[in-house]
């Protein structure tokens, strides 16, 4: 009797394995490369995100001779570009995040990577090839992806406490590298206990007079050597078991923080000139809601390497890594995803030659079509623009080199001006630069756009109370009428301008 049961069990197992293999085979068969209508907007692989994971995928795909496009979005290089020092990347004892990413991007470009600074606005993974809507300098369009690698990273968290939003850019910052120089010989606070918080504290210890490191737990989560180092600095005071309850200010700038010690059950206030946030990040996954599976915290679910719940779609880096948010891990995942994408393409019959042949056949067919001779049209004279009509000529943003030039171009100007106060090392400033250029062209002669590097013209920063970059101030007839700090999407920035002028 037992022998019969065992045989029956083995037969059932063979049947189950057979069904799974049939299902897997059927799933792959539904992706038929021969049914794809190939054109220049169809890519074997589309990479969404220009951080280290996406760039590593691009390098591997380039070296495998697989056509692809990397959409780097509004934050080229990813969050690491804000780090003033990276000490755990193999081969680099100490390098800034922006310099490291510049090297890796150059490597990708030298490998013939196709990198676009477009922005993805929508994805549709319910059909195949997958559809991805983007906006670039030529406007909005849709590209097709046979396979896709998602590498959109995460966005820094806020505390969501009273005063935080009000004083953002006026003492509250998410980037110590960007804004630390404004607090020379001042007292500042850093909130967080991980690697980023420790790195920020060490950086600011060379600039600020006093640093409070506010940690909600009774220990630091950072690597051992960094923990011991930060404890040794005389101008860094660590406040354990402490939470920030409120940001206090004088309506112009931050003056202090209301804090709570959970161990002592005690509330108090400390005087500070700035608060820097280093409290982790939230996965940038809203774009993929209802498209692929994700957990309750918004991280994309991956298994068997970097595979998501949709065949041919992979995820790498902070978008799927909840625990180990490290450069080396994101890079390794990028390499793995590229190889898995290559394997997927091979299973459905893709070869680099296939699409080339299809492209040539399409061109040949187009060339064989009967050409209809168009009637000759006499060239009409160009219309003369009235003075109030927008000019088609490129409008450049005026680069201010001195306080005297700023006074002439802005304070003495009778009209509307948008002034960009930035620092050349600041990643969000670099992200906003092309947006400012685009808006200057769109508004033409109706609004003047200027930019000032306040790290070089400190007098301007002091005169206008700049405590964080980028900061944008709107002027009308030489008078300030509005300001905001931090990066904004182009559409939001444009709406702010239209509402003020």
Residues tagged active-site: 175, 178-179
CA atoms of 437 and 283, how far apart (whole Å): 29
Rounded distance between C-alpha atoms, residue 247 and residue 159, angstroms: 10
Residues 6+ apart with CB under 8 A from 216: 193, 241, 242, 243, 262
Strand ordering across the sheet containing 172-173: 172-173, 274-277, 187-191, 210-214, 236-239
If DSSP codes are grouped into helix, strand and coil, which group holds residue 211? strand
Three-state secondary structure of 87-152: CCECCECCECHHHHHHHHHHHHHHCCCCEECCEEEEEECCCCCEEEEEEECCEEEEEEEEEEEECC
Evaluate whether 84 touches 97 at the Cβ level (below 8 Å). yes
Give the start-end residues of each E strand in 293-447.
313-315, 398-400, 416-422
Q: Give 450's contacts (C-beta < 8 A, 6+ positions apart).
A: 397, 398, 399, 400, 406, 409, 410, 417, 418, 419, 420
Which alpha helices (DSSP H) does 410-468 contain, by range? 427-443, 458-463
Q: How many CA atoms lie within 13 A of 126 on its CB side?
A: 5
DSSP for 33-73 reads GGG----TTEEEEEEE--SHHHHHHHHHHHHTT--EEEE-T
**Cα–Cα distance measured from residue 455 to residue 405, given in angstroms and rounded to the nearest whole number:** 16
- CA angle at 339 for the pair 349 and 57, rounded to the nearest 5°: 120
**If you ran DSSP here, which 8-state letter would residue 236 be given?**
E
Q: What angle do CA 75, 78, 80 make, to 5 degrees?
A: 135
The residues, ordered by sequence, that sit 6+ positions from 246 with a Cβ below 8 Å of its Cβ are: 161, 162, 163, 257, 258
Cis peptide before 129 (omega within 30 of 0): yes
Give CA–CA dist 476/162, Å, rounded: 31
Contact 467, 274 (CB under 8 A): yes
């Amino acid at each position: 009797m037992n022998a019969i049961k065992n045989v029956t069990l083995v037969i059932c197992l063979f049947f189950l394995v057979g069904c799974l293999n049939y299902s897997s085979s059927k799933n792959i068969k539904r992706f038929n490369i021969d049914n794809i209508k190939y054109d220049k907007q169809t890519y074997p692989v589309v990479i969404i995100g220009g951080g280290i994971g996406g760039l590593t995928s691009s390098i591997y795909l380039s070296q495998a001779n697989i056509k692809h496009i990397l959409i780097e979005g509004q934050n080229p290089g990813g969050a690491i570009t804000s780090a003033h020092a990276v000490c755990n990347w193999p081969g680099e004892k100490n390098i800034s995040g922006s310099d490291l990413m510049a090297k890796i991007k150059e490597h990708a470009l030298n490998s013939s990577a196709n990198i676009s600074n477009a922005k993805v606005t929508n994805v549709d993974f319910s059909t195949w090839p997958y559809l991805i809507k983007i906006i670039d300098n030529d406007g909005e369009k849709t590209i097709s992806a046979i396979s896709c690698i998602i590498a959109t990273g995460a966005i820094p968290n806020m505390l969501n406490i009273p005063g935080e939003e009000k004083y953002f850019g006026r003492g509250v910052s998410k980037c110590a590298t960007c804004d630390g120089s404004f607090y020379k010989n001042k007292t500042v606070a850093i909130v967080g206990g991980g690697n980023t918080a420790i790195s920020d504290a060490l950086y600011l210890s060379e600039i600020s007079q006093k640093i409070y490191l506010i940690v909600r737990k009774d220990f630091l989560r950072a690597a051992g050597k960094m923990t011991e180092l930060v404890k040794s600095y005389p101008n860094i005071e660590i406040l354990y078991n402490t939470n920030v309850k409120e940001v206090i200010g004088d309506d112009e700038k931050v003056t202090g923080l209301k804090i709570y010690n959970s161990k002592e059950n005690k509330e108090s206030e400390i005087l500070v000139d700035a608060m820097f946030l280093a409290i982790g990040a939230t996965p940038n996954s809203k774009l993929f809601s209802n498209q692929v599976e994700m957990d309750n915290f918004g991280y994309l679910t991956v298994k068997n390497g970097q595979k998501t719940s949709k065949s041919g779609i992979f995820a790498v880096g902070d978008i799927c890594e909840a625990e180990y948010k490290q450069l080396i891990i994101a890079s390794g995942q990028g390499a793995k995803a590229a190889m898995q994408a290559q394997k997927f393409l091979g299973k459905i019959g893709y070869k680099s030659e296939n699409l080339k042949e299809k492209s040539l056949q399409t061109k040949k067919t187009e060339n064989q079509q009967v050409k209809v001779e168009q009637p000759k049209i006499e060239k009409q004279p160009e219309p003369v623009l009235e003075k109030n009509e927008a000019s088609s000529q490129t409008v450049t943003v005026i680069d201010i080199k001195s306080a005297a030039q700023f006074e002439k171009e802005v304070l003495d100007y009778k009209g509307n001006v948008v002034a960009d106060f930035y620092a050349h090392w600041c990643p969000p400033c670099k992200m906003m630069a092309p947006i400012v250029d685009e808006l200057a062209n769109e508004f033409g002669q109706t609004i003047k756009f200027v930019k000032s590097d306040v790290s070089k013209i400190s007098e301007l920063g002091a005169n206008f109370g700049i405590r964080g970059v980028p900061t944008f101030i709107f002027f009308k007839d030489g008078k300030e009428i509005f300001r905001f700090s931090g990066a904004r999407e182009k559409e939001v920035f444009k709406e702010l301008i239209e509402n003020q002028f």
